[in-house]
Amino acid sequence: MEFSFPPQVIRVNMPDAVTLLTEVRRRFRDHEGFALATINLDHLVKLSRDRDFRTVYAAQDLVCADGNPIVWLSRLANKPVSLVPGSDMVLPLAGLAAREGVPVALMGSTDEALAAAATALEERVPGLNVSLCIAPPMGFDPTGDEARAILNRLSASGAGLTFIALGAPKQEAFAAFGRTVVPHMGFASIGAGLDFLAGRQKRAPKWVRAIAMEWAWRMMSNPRRLAKRYADCALILPGEAARAWRQR
């Protein structure tokens, strides 16, 4: 499955969780870094409007489908992929890191949220080493001097994987920058994944996710912030469906 924003083409190249974990394990063992992005309709809206975000996204090594609409579009294109939400992959990726002896770092949110997320991860993933937690200040530039200093701290901590919870497009920009500064490190952009672990945000119940209505649950939880976002997503869906059909 691919999305074209000439001259960039964004490909969902990790079709399922097993493929993703297999590739990450290979990269851990080969000491090869990576940037993982989880594409959804909100990202497609941003990609259609922001040239810099398109450049950043094209620099991501691994891309999986974070949202049922992406899965549905892939089926229309006859290039089916499975749902692999970033929030759902935090624990599997942390478990893989623990088994491979790879320390992890957490970045984003607040110091309190990161401390709670680190405690939750270490309790739920035996043997996991959370080597560093960093909460950047307000107005943080993900490609500036401060970002470079943070990347040097991450490298010095021994972390081989950093979970980034800064939101799009900042987290993907930091990951792409990190690939140039510390190319041996892995970066996983996971949005609200750490806040879910820390208990600062409540995830939709499993039955809501099972019927593909997590977006509605989230919008009702925070309509002022999310209503326009989901309206924008709905507006681009017919065009994306037509483009997906042409990929057949």
| Domains of the chain by residue range | 2-246
Q: What DSSP string describes 208-239?
A: HHHTT-HHHHHHHHSHHHHHHHHHHHHHHHHH
Q: With a cut of 70, say whether residue 162 has pLDDT above it.
A: yes
What is the reported pLDDT for 179?
Answer: 97
pLDDT at 229: 77
**In this structure, how many other beta carbons lie within 10 angstroms of the beta carbon of residue 173?**
23
Determine how many CB atoms are found less than 10 A away from the CB of residue 190: 28
The overall average pLDDT reported for the chain is: 90
Q: Binning pLDDT at 50, 70 and 90, where does residue 207 land?
A: low
- How confident is the model over 77-86, as a mean pLDDT? 94
User: What is the arrangement of strands in the sheet containing 62-65, beginning at the earlier edge strand?
Assistant: 62-65, 34-39, 186-189, 161-165, 104-108, 130-134
Rounded percentage of the chain residues whose pLDDT exceeds 90: 74
Average pLDDT over residues 196-217: 66
* pLDDT in the model for residue 87: 84
Confidence band (pLDDT; 50, 70, 90) for 243?
very high
3-state secondary structure of 113: helix
pLDDT value of position 42: 92
